[in-house]
Amino acid sequence: MTQSATKQLLDLYREQSALEDYQSGVPRWCTGCGDNAILAAVQRLCRDEGLRPEKTVCVSGIGCSSRFPHYMKTYGFHGIHGRAFPIAEGIRMARPDLTIFVNTGDGDCCSIGAAHWIHALRYNMNMTVFLHDNQIYGLTKKQASPTSPLGTKSNTTPRGSYLQALNPLTVSLGVSNVSFIAQAVDWIPETLFDIIHAAYHHKGFSFVRVIQRCPEWLPKALDPWLQDPARVQLVHHANGIQIGQGLSRVYKNQIEHDPLDIHRAREIASDTDLIPVGILYRNPDVPCYEDTRQSGALRTVGAIQKNFEAELDKYSV
Amino acid sequence: MTTTTATREAGATARAPTSVTLREHIVEIISDSGEGAQRCGQSLGSIAARMGNGIWTTEIIPAEIRPPARSVAGASGIRIRIGSGYVTNGGNETDLVVAFNEQVLLGRVNARELKPGCIILLENMWRTHSDPNIVKSYTEAYDRLVRADYQVVEIPMEEECLKYTTNARRGKNMFALGILCHIYNFDLQAAREQIALTFGKKEQSVIDANVMLLEAGHRWARASIGFSFRIPATPHNRRQISINGNVSLALGVMASGMDICAMYPITPATSASHYLSEAFEKVGGIVHQAEDEIAACAFAIGASCAGKCAVTITSGPGYSLKQEGIGLAVMAEIPLVVVNVQRGGPSTGQPTKVEQGDMLTAIFGSHGDAPKVVMAPSTIEDCFYSVITARRIAETFNTVVVILSDASLSSSQQPFDRPQFQESWLAPPIDQSPVPEGARPYDWDSVTGIARRFIPGQPGGMHTVTGLAHDRDSHVAYDPDINQEGLRARSLKIAALQKTLLPPEVFGAESGDLLVIGWGSTKGAIEEAVGELIAEGRKVSAIHLRFLQPMQPGIKEIMRRFVKVMTIETNWSDRPDDELIDEDSRRYSALATLLRARYLIDVDCWTEVRGQPVKPRIIRQVLLAKLENRGNA
């Protein structure tokens, strides 16, 4: 039986996806690890948005976070330590048609890959980025990371870490061309999903820092915030995320903040006593590097040959 | 030799209208940087090529962007070897030099780049300069040069140019070009046309002003310079182009159909990317200047993984930084072309100088066993075709192909036959068809190790590429047998490629007393020296390796037909006559180390790391010493 192309196309979009369509293998993360929450949220997003698994690529560096692509039934690139961003940028430049997620950790992004992180913000290429920030190196077994709070005891800092923690939000908000900065926590899956959803729909480099627990190495580090919901500050706005009633009953510390206001975003991000959760900054008008770089020239055989011959003419003797 | 006679006459009978016929001449034009000596030289080279002469031009580049004016280390310019026939290398020392001041000239004298008795055309404005220190240094230098038997001819370039222009500094180079056109009996009309081509983008008034100075220089020389030379051309009607090695590489990138080049600025590789930024992007190519070398490599890997093979272009220090990324591409079997335009090392080394120091790091670099293909273009033409071949090998074998060029090829220019574009050079469109049911991303062939590659977008091919040891499904391998199998497959691909290569051609007789083996940019110089020795009845031959990994077949058989075998390279090797050096301690050159290890043949080596291309004359001395069992020259 033959079908018209239009009908086939419509059928294609009628396909229903299930969570299983995006699941691959059994995650080998520890029980209670925040990575599981991010994986569940991303798989839900894929299902809800009906993303084609073959058109989706998850890119990561090295670390616990970076095992992420192995657990997605999409294309994936589990790269090398710190280099997830440039790999993802190369994929984006070659393939405007793919959906790209990047998973990176606090060591991967804020330490060994810090240079790439700054420049990735500046390139503003269209991809959705999750900084799995558990404030500790997990895979290498408990060393202080750049985001470890001052005094964190670890295998390399047995008497406590020596430096103030780096704040990924204020750093990101200081880079020109930044276009989307949000923060989520692994223990509020509802807002985690809403933020991921907004990040996915933002065209540009959507950077989501997810503060997450490491039950193995720093089991109590986030207790002060977990046990005192008032220290979690929900950031909402008509152009940001909205907060449901159920959530409002627990998290009473809420502020309204227009995500276009970068100065206020920096202020909110600077408060390290509270954990702000929500979209801190979103500017849909920042150009994407891949669009800026597209010349619009057709790469046909004829065009390539014509240009090649013209170049040879210049050097003829 | 005719050259010697010519130089004598030049000095002795400055105004006699003689024209001496030569087989070849080496000309240099040197100035402070920014005075246009390079443009003058490039134009002269192009004019010579138009006349049908063979040429090889080499840039003379100071280490700094703006070295102090009139400084010994600041010589900027160009050196052109003009021959009757095809010229394969920069040759020996210089026969004639035009110098815009005496200090830059002394730099070349100190570097021993001028032939004894070399003709020097020296700007004489400094003799009457208002600064007595300049007058003093000029006269001292002049006297020193004359005492050293150079044929110094003082020329009033500044004075003459001021008759036609208010700023002589901006036109002197064309005046010099006019003088040289007279000296070499080049057609003035060809020179006018060349200027029109060179300044093609500028207004007509600019072209006219330059032509006027060219003609003025020519007129002045006809009246004032009493010698001239003829280097008979070997006419041919082949269409040729004249470019340097970096432009050649860049044209190769364009002709190979690659879409993306990722780079970070580094001398002496960057000009290839400059050129691509201009020419490649007109047809939708992208040159991405990354934040660092590591990012450039990773960007290219990402682009390759999801699309056509991409290229990253760098030089030694950048290559070191890319090593981890290269290992990833090897492990994950992602095609990638890496161009390394070698410079002097280690560390920052000599950024603008010639060296072949990166061969072993290219072959063995990146931790663990990371087998990759390493190619070494030996001519400027070869740079072009190497990229096309490299792209094809990278995509056929899903691996990394390294192209080792060097600062000699990158800064030299030579005409060669205009490439005839072929559609088959271009990378095919990427496969987006559904993957057959049950197909696996690393379905390694048991004989060749080759697996097909699934590209994002292909339905059913979803998998995660990883730098971790992985099985055929690209799942992280916890089974030791899988790791064994993966390494075997990646190594077998090199063997599979090796089976497709042809043995190297022997330059000279198939057997004899001495076989010289080289690789990369030294080919022309080695073959020139070997050719001379063969003409003198010596039993010397040469082979030149285009592939360093895998190596071409038949090399051992060729080596066995010679009594002695040695390599000539521009990298480090210990000299046997140093006190501590003996068979136990000697570190051999890169290629000799490789050949000794692979073929168990006692391969000797001679190398130097003076930052310059090796001269045929030096190679000849070395080979004669080896033939006669004397210590190395």
So what's the ipTM on this one? Answer: 0.96
Alpha helices in B26-131 (DSSP H): 37-50, 102-110
Does residue A239 form part of some domain? yes
- Tens of pLDDT, residues A246-256: 999 999 999 99
Listed residue (B208, B164, B214, B212) closest to B186, CA to CA: B214
The partner residue sitting opposite A295, judged by closest CB among B281, B456, B460, is: B281
pLDDT higher than threshold 50 for residue B1: no
Does residue A39 form part of some domain? yes
Confidence category of residue B2, pLDDT binned at 50, 70, 90: very low
Give how far A95 is from chain B: nearest CA, Å.
Answer: 7
Question: Distance of CA A65 to CAs A31, A143, A159, A251, B301, Å?
Answer: 14, 15, 27, 27, 21
Q: Residues 61-80, chain A: which have Cβ within 8 Å of B?
A: 69-70, 72-80
The partner residue sitting opposite A315, judged by closest CB among B243, B325, B454, is: B243
CATH number of the domain within which B619 lies = 3.40.50.920
Q: How many CA atoms lie within 13 A of B466 on its CB side?
A: 23
Does residue B236 form part of some domain? no
Which pLDDT does position B11 carry in this prediction? 43
- Tens of pLDDT, residues A122-138: 999 999 999 999 999 99
Kindly report the backbone phi and psi dihedral angles of residue B146, in degrees, each rounded to the nearest multiple of 5, phi listed first: -65, -40
Give how far B28 is from chain A: nearest CA, Å.
Answer: 21
Q: Please give the residue of chain A at the shortest CA–CA distance from B334.
A: A77
Does residue B425 form part of some domain? no
- B121 and B218 in a single domain? The answer is yes
Q: Please give the residue of chain A at the shortest CA–CA distance from B423.
A: A301
Confidence category of residue B95, pLDDT binned at 50, 70, 90: very high
Return the residue in B462, B470, B478 with the most chain A beta carbons within 10 A, the one to mutate for interface testing. Answer: B462
Return the residue in B305, B311, B464, B465 with the most chain A beta carbons within 10 A, the one to mutate for interface testing. Answer: B464
For residues B451 and B489, give the distance between their C-alpha atoms in angstroms, rounded to a whole number. 9
- B399 and B461 in a single domain? The answer is no
Does residue B507 form part of some domain? no
Domain assignment of residue A169, given as a range: 16-314
Listed residue (A231, A284, A230, A286) closest to A259, CA to CA: A284
The partner residue sitting opposite B328, judged by closest CB among A79, A91, A98, is: A79
What percent of chain A has pLDDT above 90? 90
- B452 and B527 in a single domain? The answer is no
- B449 and B483 in a single domain? The answer is yes
Region of B114 on the Ramachandran plot (φ > 0 left; ψ -120 to 50 alpha; else beta)? beta
Do the Cβ atoms of A75 and B463 come within 8 Å? Answer: yes
Which pLDDT does position B16 carry in this prediction? 47
Mean pLDDT (whole number) for B407-434:
95
Which pLDDT does position A14 carry in this prediction? 63
Beta bridge partners of B564: B514
For residues B461 and B451, give the distance between their C-alpha atoms in angstroms, rounded to a whole number. 13
- B587 and B463 in a single domain? The answer is no
> What's the structural domain count of chain A?
1
Which of B500, B526, B558 is a domain's end point?
Answer: B500
Contact with chain B for residue A116, Cβ under 8 A: yes
Alpha helices in B536-570 (DSSP H): 555-560
Q: Tell me, what amino acid is at B179?
A: I
The partner residue sitting opposite A308, judged by closest CB among B49, B325, B421, is: B421
- Tens of pLDDT, residues B538-583: 999 999 999 999 999 999 999 999 999 999 999 999 999 999 999 9
- B410 and B483 in a single domain? The answer is no
| A–B CB contacts, 8 A cutoff, strictly below | 189
Q: Is the pTM of this model over 0.90?
A: yes
Name the residue with tokens 């035009």: B98
Q: Which tokens in the block code for residue A14? A: 């009628």
- Out of A155-164, B69-78, B401-410, pick the least confident: B69-78
- Tens of pLDDT, residues A236-245: 999 999 999 9
Do the Cβ atoms of A76 and B465 come within 8 Å? Answer: yes
Does residue A5 form part of some domain? no
- Tens of pLDDT, residues B104-147: 999 999 999 999 999 999 999 999 999 999 999 999 999 999 99
Give how far A116 is from chain B: nearest CA, Å.
Answer: 7
Which of B230, B252, B276 is a domain's end point?
Answer: B230
Which pLDDT does position B3 carry in this prediction? 40
Which pLDDT does position B10 carry in this prediction? 44
Does residue A271 form part of some domain? yes
Residue pair B124/B154 in contact (Cβ under 8 Å)? The answer is yes
Which pLDDT does position B21 carry in this prediction? 96
Do the Cβ atoms of B295 and A85 come within 8 Å? Answer: yes
Give the angle subtended at the CA of B602 by the CAs of B598 and B606, to the nearest 5°.
100
For residues B67 and B69, give the distance between their C-alpha atoms in angstroms, rounded to a whole number. 6
For residues B261 and A94, give the distance between their C-alpha atoms in angstroms, rounded to a whole number. 11
- Tens of pLDDT, residues B496-515: 999 999 999 999 999 999 99
- Tens of pLDDT, residues B203-257: 888 899 999 999 999 999 999 999 999 999 988 888 999 999 999 999 999 999 9
Give how far B541 is from chain A: nearest CA, Å.
Answer: 33
> What's the structural domain count of chain B?
4
Domain assignment of residue B482, given as a range: 431-500
Does residue B557 form part of some domain? yes
- B309 and B199 in a single domain? The answer is no
Mean pLDDT for all residues in chain A: 95
Confidence category of residue A2, pLDDT binned at 50, 70, 90: low
Which pLDDT does position B17 carry in this prediction? 57
Return the residue in B259, B299, B391, B433 with the most chain A beta carbons within 10 A, the one to mutate for interface testing. Answer: B299
What percent of chain B has pLDDT above 90? 88
Which pLDDT does position B169 carry in this prediction? 81
CATH number of the domain within which B250 lies = 3.40.50.970
Kindly report the backbone phi and psi dihedral angles of residue B594, in degrees, each rounded to the nearest multiple of 5, phi listed first: -65, -45
- Tens of pLDDT, residues B262-286: 999 999 999 999 999 999 988 889 9
- Return the SS3 of A178: coil
Do the Cβ atoms of B328 and A80 come within 8 Å? Answer: yes
pLDDT higher than threshold 70 for residue A316: yes
Name chain A contacts of B458, Cβ cutoff 8 Å.
Answer: 54
Mean pLDDT (whole number) for A214-221:
96
Name chain A contacts of B326, Cβ cutoff 8 Å.
Answer: none
- B322 and B452 in a single domain? The answer is no
Does residue A91 form part of some domain? yes
pLDDT higher than threshold 80 for residue B630: no
Kindly report the backbone phi and psi dihedral angles of residue B532, in degrees, each rounded to the nearest multiple of 5, phi listed first: -65, -45
- B109 and B217 in a single domain? The answer is yes
The partner residue sitting opposite B303, judged by closest CB among A69, A94, A299, is: A94
Does residue B505 form part of some domain? no
Does residue B237 form part of some domain? no
Return the residue in B50, B263, B291, B334 with the most chain A beta carbons within 10 A, the one to mutate for interface testing. Answer: B291
Q: Please give the residue of chain A at the shortest CA–CA distance from B308.
A: A94
Kindly report the backbone phi and psi dihedral angles of residue B30, in degrees, each rounded to the nearest multiple of 5, phi listed first: -130, 145
Region of B611 on the Ramachandran plot (φ > 0 left; ψ -120 to 50 alpha; else beta)? left
The partner residue sitting opposite A303, judged by closest CB among B283, B294, B324, is: B283
Does residue B183 form part of some domain? yes
Residue pair B151/B118 in contact (Cβ under 8 Å)? The answer is yes
CATH number of the domain within which A62 lies = 3.40.50.970
Confidence category of residue B631, pLDDT binned at 50, 70, 90: low
Q: Please give the residue of chain A at the shortest CA–CA distance from B194.
A: A317
Does residue A9 form part of some domain? no
Do the Cβ atoms of A307 and B254 come within 8 Å? Answer: yes
Better-scored residue on pLDDT, A295 or B363: B363
- B253 and B133 in a single domain? The answer is no
Does residue B563 form part of some domain? yes
Contacts 24+ apart (CB under 8 A), B391-395: B391/B256, B391/B257, B391/B258, B391/B309, B391/B311, B391/B335, B391/B337, B391/B427, B392/B256, B393/B497, B394/B309, B394/B335, B394/B336, B394/B337, B395/B308, B395/B309, B395/B335, B395/B427
Mean pLDDT (whole number) for B477-499:
95
Which of B473, B500, B527 is a domain's end point?
Answer: B500
Mean pLDDT for all residues in chain B: 94
- Tens of pLDDT, residues B369-392: 999 999 999 999 999 999 999 999
Beta bridge partners of B465: A77
